């Protein structure tokens, strides 16, 4: 099945990394993890199988959510031709038609970035966060949460709150721009969760 094929691919990648590994010049996550495996500060839970599990999670979760979010973005561009027109104008102005865009263009394309932020907000507002378990009895806003309770964040409550988003059901990238057209991301924008266990996809 597909799961086994991906795992086999990752095992081959790990073997290749081990053969060509140079601790003085790490290339990626696998190399950094291999450095940690050799470190005296290595935690008991660190292992090659754990590394493969992490890579599998990133491969499976990252590729699916990215493709779905992009599909959502393209759908909104079809539904809102005025947004598409502004995006095209920014691309033509910054990149032109003679070359491909590059990462150096990103700071000069706030509207395109705002489209991505708004697409993620609209897409994630229909989702729930990854389940977590309360490690001890606790209280949150007068709610008693007993130990071992499963806690799941509702992104709808955060990303569709009219108190912060005014017209949350409307696709409006301009909400992520200040009066000068510069990118402005409010602290209420939390589609990846919060805290140290938030989604790695935020980066």
Binding residues for heme: 199
* Binding residue positions: 199
Distance of CA 194 to the CA centre of its chain: 12
- Give CA–CA dist 134/59, Å, rounded: 28
Alpha carbons within 13 angstroms on the beta-carbon side of residue 136 total 1
CA separation, residue 181 to residues 9, 31, 38, 110, 112 (Å): 44, 40, 48, 7, 11
Residues 87 and 77 sit within 8 Å (Cβ to Cβ): yes
Strands (E), the chain: 132-133, 138-140, 143-145, 150-151
């Amino acid at each position: 099945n597909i799961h086994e094929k991906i795992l086999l691919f990752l095992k081959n990648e790990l073997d290749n990394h081990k053969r060509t590994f140079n601790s003085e010049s790490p290339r990626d996550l696998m190399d950094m993890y291999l450095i940690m495996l050799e470190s005296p500060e290595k935690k008991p839970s660190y292992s090659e199988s754990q590394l493969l599990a992490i890579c599998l999670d990133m491969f499976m979760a990252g590729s699916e959510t990215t493709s779905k979010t992009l599909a959502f973005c393209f759908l909104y561009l079809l539904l809102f031709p005025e947004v598409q027109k502004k995006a095209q104008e920014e691309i033509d102005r910054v990149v032109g038609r003679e070359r491909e865009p590059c990462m150096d263009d990103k700071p000069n394309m706030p509207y395109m970035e705002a489209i991505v932020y708004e697409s993620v907000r609209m897409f994630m507002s229909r989702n729930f966060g990854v389940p977590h378990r309360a490690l001890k009895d606790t209280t949150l806003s007068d709610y008693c949460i007993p130990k071992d309770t499963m806690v799941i964040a509702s992104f709808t409550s955060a990303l569709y709150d009219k108190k912060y988003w005014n017209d949350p059901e409307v696709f409006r990238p301009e909400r992520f721009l200040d009066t000068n057209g510069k990118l402005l991301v409010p602290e209420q924008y939390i589609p990846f969760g919060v805290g140290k266990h938030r989604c790695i996809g935020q980066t």
